[in-house]
Amino acid sequence: MSLSQILPLSTCPGLSLTALAPMQDVTDLHFMSVLAHYGCPDYFFTEYFRVHPSSTLNKKILRSITENTTGRPVFAQLIGESIPDLVRIARELSHYPVAGIDLNLGCPAPRVYRKNVGGGLLRDPEQVKRILSELREAVAGRLTVKMRLGFDNTDHFDRLLDLINLCDINLLSLHGRTVKEKYHSAVHYDLIAHAVQRVRCPVLANGNVTSATSALSILEMTGAAGVMIGRAAIRNPWIFQQIRQALNGQPVSGVPLSAVHDYIERLRQTQTASMVPERARVSHMKMYLNFIAQSVDVAGAFLREMRQARTETELLAVCARHLLSNPETEFALEPYPGLVARPTCETPQDCCA
């Protein structure tokens, strides 16, 4: 897909953009394909390509670009600090049908930022300037950035925003928390609104976009060009379709639990599932179910029983019991209060938007 065929990255009356946030171990080709069945976002972003002196293009991540049949543009995300290697990988990716190159300046996982990449780079605006300047020189197409407000405070925030302008960045996806705040604090939508006023490029508001209702409220508060959604899209793959309905003044479609069961089955049916040990399959499904379960029942019985399941048979039985016993019961559009997702591995918790 050529850049001229991509939806313009500009604000237009009545147009609000949606994007699926890049999430490690989640936003692969399979998840994008499953999501497309329920209503695509306007843009996809890949898991990050790790960039270092010996790095090559990750073939699994590359498939989400080269084999993508969703009909939506896909941005390739990079994470790293070695400027020659970031330039090298960006140029290699430019030979593939990418919508643009995205730089990760926001990952809050300690094992990531301690290497001075992702959110760790926000401590050093001068290094950010060097990286963005070199990438801008090397990337002929769109260059975009996903970042947070700062590392442990917002002292450098305006300086970072000015770098977005200086380096002619085409799109800024802004998570309204610092790296150290991870996902625990309130989202600072006022600072996203400040960024919207300060930078020349469109801004996608990211952080606690949990439903169509919250998306419209966040768009009104921030004036952003659109929203980027991460973990809420794992819980509710209908969210992008529902946002479009709300923006058009239409009723937001409800989702019966039987449809949620269908969604779980689609997640489970990967091409490689039969080659993966059962324990790993169960753990992988629990990664998704930790989020989905937040909207199944207010008491959290599904969440508890799902976590206790040890075999695939037990896990599927829990799903059938809670989702098919009363299949027309509606799935909650917002997570039930008090039901907290605790993924089975560090990455989705720490690197999901």
Q: What's the rounded Cα separation, in Å, for the pair 96 and 157?
A: 33
User: What residues act catalytically?
Assistant: 107
Indicate if the alpha-carbon torsion angle 204, 210, 216, 221 is positive or negative: negative
- Dmax (CA) for the chain in angstroms is 58
Is-contact 63 74, C-beta < 8 A?
A: no
Read off the tokens for 149. Answer: 């407000």
3 state SS for 241-287: HHHHHHHCCCCCCCCEHHHHHHHHHHHHCCCCHHHCCHHHHHHHHHH
Q: What's the rounded Cα separation, in Å, for the pair 239 and 209?
A: 10
75 strand-pairing partners: 45, 100
Q: Give the CA angle between residues 41, 187, 136 to the nearest 5°.
A: 60
Q: What's the rounded Cα separation, in Å, for the pair 298 and 169?
A: 43
Please state whether beta strands 43-50 and 17-20 pair in parallel, antiparallel, or not at all (unpaired): parallel
Question: Among residues 254, 232, 239, which one has the least CA distance to residue 327?
Answer: 254
Q: What is the CA radius of gyration of the chain?
A: 20
Is-contact 78 48, C-beta < 8 A?
A: yes
Q: Give the CA angle between residues 248, 252, 254 to the nearest 5°.
A: 160
101 strand-pairing partners: 76, 143
Indicate if the alpha-carbon torsion angle 30, 288, 295, 310 is positive or negative: positive
Beta strand residue intervals within the chain, DSSP E: 17-20, 43-50, 74-79, 100-105, 142-148, 171-175, 203-206, 226-229
